Every structure is written in C-alpha cells, then in structure tokens.
C-alpha cells in the first residue's frame, strides 16, 4: 500500500498538480457559471435552440476550413497559414458573379442554378490559388526545417491578402441576398432561420462527400498513404508530388465552398475576411488532433458550438457584463483546457507525439 503510494508520488510531478489545479479551476468555473445561468432562467429554450443552431452553422464552416489545414498538415507536416486567404479568394471572386446574377435578375429566377455557379466559381478559384501556392512557394521547401515553410506561408498570406485588396478594392462588398433563403422554417414550436439551416445542410453534405472521398477513392487512399509515410508510398508507386498538389486542391475546394457559406451567412466579403475564421479553423483542427480528418470536423463543430453557447451559458451566471465579447477567450480557454488533458487533441494520434 505504502509502496504503491510512493510509486504514484514519483510519477506525479509538481507540474502535473499545477496543471490539474488550473484545469480543475476552469472546469469548476464552467460548472458554477452554467448552473447559475440555468438557475437564473434568463434564457428560454428557444434562446438555447437558436444558440445551438447558430453554433452548428458556424461550426460546420469551421469544420470545412479545418479540413484544409488538417489535410495539408497530414501530407506536409506544415501549418498552411495562407489557408485563410485561400478561403477568402474564392467567395470574393465569386461575389462579382453573384452581383452580376443579382443585377440581371437571374439570381431570383433560378436561385439554385446561380448558387451552383457561384459555388463552382469560388471552389475553382480557391483551389487554383491553393495549387499555385503549393507549386511556387511550398514545393521548393519540402526538405527545409519546419519553421521555414511556416514563415513562407505567413508571407504568402500577406501577399495574397494585399493582392486581392489591390485587385478588388479595400471596401466591404455586400453579398446579394438569396430570396428563397430568407425568413424561417418552423418545426412545432421551434423555428430555424432558413439560411442557417441551408448552411448546416450544405456543409454536412460537403463534409460527407469529402470524408468518403478520402476514405473510399483510390486518390483518397493515396493521400492517406502519403501522410502516413512519404517514402514508403513513393516506393509503392504513388506520385507523391501529385498527391500533395491534389491535397492542396481538395483543401482549397473545401475552403472555397466554406467561404461562400460564410458569405451567405454574414452577407459580406472583404479582403481581410479570412483571418479570423482561419485562426479559428486552425484552432479547431488542433483541437481535434491535427492531421486527423474526423478530428477536424469534430473540432470545428465543437468550437462553433462553444463560441455560440459558451458566453451565455458559462459567463452570464457569473454576473459578467457583455459576455459575448469574451467568446473568443472562451474558445481559446477551451482549447487550452483540452490540450492540458490531451496534449495531442481530442482524437490526436501518436504521430503528433512522434513527429511534431
């Protein structure tokens, strides 16, 4: 008994204790805040339902962007910092298509066809940018130490932001409103804003398509092989360079589609629009365990939900004024909390420990 205790004591370092105390304190605060909020009863079930739906919509967009981060991380072990600009480029370019459709009235007559075209344009542009980015900036750096591609990516991110600013201008452009998605659908006593439902549905479809593409097809299999072991897959006859390009293109397509969804939801585009969702999606990818595809989806949805529900649920009860301002702080605290207990993310693999 004493011996076991001694062994346990040896295994637990003081830092572990500090970490548990920090983690425990955050958890206690969360639980206390939530019970206080619920006891106070300031929000009805309708409010909570709205929060959850908004969180899901936002989270599924994060999940789509996070796929790009996680796929690229898988094959190259690098943070593609410029992914947020890939995300921005598609919908920003597609805006001009959308605006033209809107002016000619085509958008209202054939909303589905127009949306399809808008999506296509955005996805093509985003994946094109991603392809060029890999070709020009990242390919020569395959063997460089880790930090160098990161700096390149940061540089590329600045460059792309300001190229698009130069091309399209620095103002906010209001995305045209699709009439059939205005208003709300009611289910019994709950009502959903239509465009939020559309965003969730579309994102879910895209995620499912993407996931089955990675899991089922030959190309998907090859991409997974490359992310397991580049050399071995090269010896198995896989064209590694091509697979890496393909990965960027797929990630770019997901980002472009996510961008249009984002534009539909927030109804505007801007050359700097990628920065915040980009960082959030990257956070989501890490939260789920970077390099892990289901992890990125899970992380994205988790983060979106926490951001939407968290401020009211955790902080309102503690008597904090304007809790909504702290939503990002909550998101990042959650990240730190998860990483304290699982240093490689929710679904993190051993790979993260070994390689990173």
| CB of residue 225 to other proteins, shortest distance in Å | 22
Q: Any residues with CB less than 8 A from the CB of 263 and at least 6 apart, and which?
A: 91, 94, 95, 175, 269
| CB of residue 2 to other proteins, shortest distance in Å | 27
Beta strands in 8-97 (DSSP E): none
For other proteins, the closer of residues 196 and 227 by Cβ is 227
Tally of CB atoms within 10 A around 169: 11
| CB of residue 277 to other proteins, shortest distance in Å | 14
For other proteins, the closer of residues 19 and 116 by Cβ is 19
| CB of residue 325 to other proteins, shortest distance in Å | 5
Which structure tokens are listed for 108? 């209202």
d(CA 181, CA 164): 29
For 185, the enclosing helix (H) or strand (E) is strand 184-187
For other proteins, the closer of residues 22 and 40 by Cβ is 22
Q: Is the distance from CB of 154 to CB of 81 less than 8 angstroms?
A: yes
| CB of residue 204 to other proteins, shortest distance in Å | 26
Tally of CB atoms within 10 A around 250: 22
Which structure tokens are listed for 323? 């809790």
Binding site for other proteins (CB under 8 A): 13, 15, 18-19, 22, 73, 79, 96, 137, 140-141, 144-152, 154-163, 165-170, 279, 282-283, 286, 290, 320-323, 325-326, 328-329, 332-333, 335-336, 339-340, 343-345, 352-353, 355-356
Rg, the chain, Cα only: 22
For other proteins, the closer of residues 166 and 183 by Cβ is 166
For other proteins, the closer of residues 58 and 70 by Cβ is 70
């Amino acid at each position: 008994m004493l011996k076991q205790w001694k062994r346990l004591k040896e295994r637990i370092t003081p830092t572990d204790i500090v970490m548990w105390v920090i983690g425990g304190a955050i958890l206690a605060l969360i639980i206390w805040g939530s019970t206080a909020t619920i006891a106070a009863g300031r929000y009805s079930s309708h409010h909570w339902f709205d929060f959850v739906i908004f969180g899901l919509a936002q989270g599924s967009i994060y999940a789509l962007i996070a796929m790009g981060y996680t796929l690229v991380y898988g094959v190259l072990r690098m943070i593609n910092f410029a992914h947020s600009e890939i995300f921005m480029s598609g919908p920003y370019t597609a805006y001009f298509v959308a605006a033209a459709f809107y002016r000619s009235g085509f958008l209202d007559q054939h909303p589905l066809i127009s949306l399809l075209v808008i999506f296509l344009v955005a996805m093509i542009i985003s994946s094109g940018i991603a392809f060029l980015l890999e070709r020009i900036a990242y390919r020569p750096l395959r063997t460089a130490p880790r930090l160098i591609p990161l700096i390149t990516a940061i540089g590329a991110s600045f460059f792309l932001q300001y190229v698009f600013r130069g091309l399209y201008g620095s103002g906010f452009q209001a995305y045209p409103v699709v009439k059939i998605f205005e208003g709300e659908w009611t289910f019994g006593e709950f009502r959903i804003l239509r465009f939020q439902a559309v965003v969730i549905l579309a994102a879910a479809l895209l995620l499912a398509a993407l996931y089955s593409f990675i899991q089922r097809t030959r190309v998907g299999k090859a991409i997974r092989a490359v992310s397991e072991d580049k050399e071995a897959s090269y010896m198995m006859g896989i064209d590694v360079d091509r697979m890496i390009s393909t990965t960027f293109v797929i990630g770019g397509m997901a980002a472009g589609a996510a961008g249009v969804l984002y534009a539909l939801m927030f109804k505007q585009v801007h050359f700097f629009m990628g920065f915040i969702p980009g960082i959030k999606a990257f956070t989501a990818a890490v939260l789920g365990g970077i390099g892990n595809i289901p992890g990125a989806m899970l992380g994205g949805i988790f983060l979106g939900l926490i951001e939407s529900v968290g401020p009211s649920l955790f902080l309102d009860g503690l008597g904090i004024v304007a809790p909504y301002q702290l939503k990002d702080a909550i998101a990042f605290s959650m990240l730190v909390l998860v990483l304290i207990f699982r240093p490689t993310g929710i679904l993190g693999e051993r790979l993260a420990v070994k390689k990173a």
